[in-house]
């Protein structure tokens, strides 16, 4: 039975994350939105605190993800994914770009946690890892990756270009998706940890963006870049019967996390808008039908309902991961719903706030800019709907494109 209440043991984490968001993120949010590509040095102390929480087993509030276990005989592992999701919601209530800028809390860390073996997990402990999937000719269709990895003795030789890599310049390493054999399709795509300073690995440029400006987004190039074969995450065998399952396991962890980021931003916008409506004398009455209330109150109720639906879907997908239930469908549903909802909610909140919502006097306009990327990265709205349709209809990717 699914219990979507916040576990008591996660309450301390949620409170700590909220305090960090309120006391560290919010005060510097506008500063680093304006100072694009400047590293937020204020995050170093907070990152050290999260490292301590993760090392102690308390669980941090960042985006590092949790370890997937193969042993299904030891009961439920309540709290791992759910705590990470709950912490991310609180932190992104403060500022989503600053969370993405946290050292050692990158999406690449979530990938390592998902698919690395025990030796790799220990070797890359403390490494800040970015995730490099998207290419100039390959966006949401990760199976179309053209970057190659060729085994040469004890090393893999990587060639290709990656774009829109979050924390691509600042991170210590990058988890790169590349194919071992293009002729074998999806099953040949593997992920590799490439450390900064490796010959043939170059940061080409940083992108100027609509939102999440505090987070650096890089273009990376790999030209005859040699990495130890031990840096391949998971197994090097190409199992066509499993298809894309190995690397896609990463998304089952990271998509609920991105949905959580969207929920945090949406909640921030709703709270600020609710405050403005109250100051304007607009009462939101939860005991009366929406069509009998002020138009702004009716719109606010609709946005809150949308938020609640996304929130519950996200908790469900995290709960399923914690309890070793296949959650690919639920992870995509949560990502699709939360990604679409945060864009709708933040833009409507800007409208409801009037001129205040459109100026830099409040953070509403910033949240509306930050929101769009949450509907795009880790799989766009359209690709999530396609995945959901395939799961519900029992179709393969070849049968339903």
| CA atoms of 215 and 370, how far apart (whole Å) | 11
Q: Which residues contact 218 (CB under 8 A, 6 or more apart)?
A: 130, 165, 167, 168, 169, 203, 204, 205, 206, 207
Residues in the chain, overall count:
401
DSSP β-bridge partners for residue 150: 157
Using only C-alpha atoms, the chain has a radius of gyration, in whole angstroms, of 21
| CA atoms of 86 and 69, how far apart (whole Å) | 21
Q: Which residues contact 298 (CB under 8 A, 6 or more apart)?
A: 290, 291
| CA atoms of 277 and 265, how far apart (whole Å) | 18
Continuous segment of H or E residues that includes residue 270: helix 245-279
- 119 counts as catalytic: no
| CA atoms of 344 and 304, how far apart (whole Å) | 11
Active-site hit among 90, 272, 304, 378: 378
Q: Where are the alpha helices (DSSP H) in 180-244?
A: none
State the pairing for strand pair 173-179/129-132.
parallel
Continuous segment of H or E residues that includes residue 203: strand 201-206
Q: Give the residue from 234, 269, 195 showing the smallest Cα distance to 112.
A: 234
State how far the alpha carbon of 333 is from the alpha carbons of 167, 222, 397, in Å.
Answer: 26, 34, 17
| CA atoms of 214 and 290, how far apart (whole Å) | 38
- Would you list the DSSP string of 209-224? -SS-TTS-EEEEEEEE
Question: Catalytic positions, please?
Answer: 378
């Amino acid at each position: 039975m699914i219990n979507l209440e916040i576990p008591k043991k996660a309450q301390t984490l949620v409170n700590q994350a909220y305090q960090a968001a309120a006391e560290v993120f919010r005060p510097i949010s506008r500063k680093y939105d304006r100072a694009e590509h400047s590293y937020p040095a204020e995050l170093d102390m907070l990152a050290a605190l999260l490292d301590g929480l993760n090392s102690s087993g308390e669980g941090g509030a960042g985006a590092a993800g949790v370890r997937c276990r193969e042993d299904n005989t030891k009961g439920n592992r309540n709290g791992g994914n759910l705590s990470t999701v709950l912490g991310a919601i609180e932190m992104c209530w403060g500022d989503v770009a600053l969370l993405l800028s946290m050292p050692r809390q990158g999406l690449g860390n979530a990938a390592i946690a998902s698919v690395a073996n025990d030796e790799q997990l220990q070797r890359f402990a403390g490494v800040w890892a970015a995730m490099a999937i998207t290419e100039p000719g390959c966006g949401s269709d990760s199976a179309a990756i053209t970057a190659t990895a060729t085994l040469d003795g004890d090393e893999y030789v990587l060639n290709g270009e990656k774009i829109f890599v979050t924390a691509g310049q600042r991170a210590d390493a990058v988890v790169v998706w590349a194919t071992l054999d293009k002729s074998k399709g999806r099953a040949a795509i593997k992920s590799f940890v490439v450390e900064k300073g490796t010959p043939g690995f170059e940061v080409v440029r940083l992108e100027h963006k609509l939102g999440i400006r505090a987070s650096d987004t890089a273009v990376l190039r790999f030209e005859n870049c040699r990495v130890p074969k031990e840096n391949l995450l998971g197994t090097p065998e190409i199992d066509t019967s499993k298809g894309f399952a190995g690397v896609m396991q990463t998304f089952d962890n990271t998509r609920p996390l991105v949905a959580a980021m969207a929920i945090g931003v949406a909640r921030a916008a709703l709270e600020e808008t609710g405050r403005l409506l109250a100051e304007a004398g607009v009462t939101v009455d939860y005991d009366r039908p929406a069509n009998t209330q002020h138009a702004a109150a009716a719109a606010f109720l609709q946005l809150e309902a949308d938020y609640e639906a996304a929130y519950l879907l996200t908790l469900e997908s995290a709960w399923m991961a914690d309890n070793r239930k296949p959650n690919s469908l639920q992870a995509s549903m949560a990502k699709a719903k939360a990604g679409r909802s945060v864009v709708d909610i933040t833009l409507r909140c800007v409208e409801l706030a009037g001129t205040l919502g459109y100026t830099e006097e409040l953070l509403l306009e910033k949240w509306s800019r930050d929101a769009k990327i949450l509907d795009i990265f880790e799989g766009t709205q359209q690709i999530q709907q396609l995945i959901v349709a395939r799961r519900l209809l029992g179709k393969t990717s070849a049968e339903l494109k």
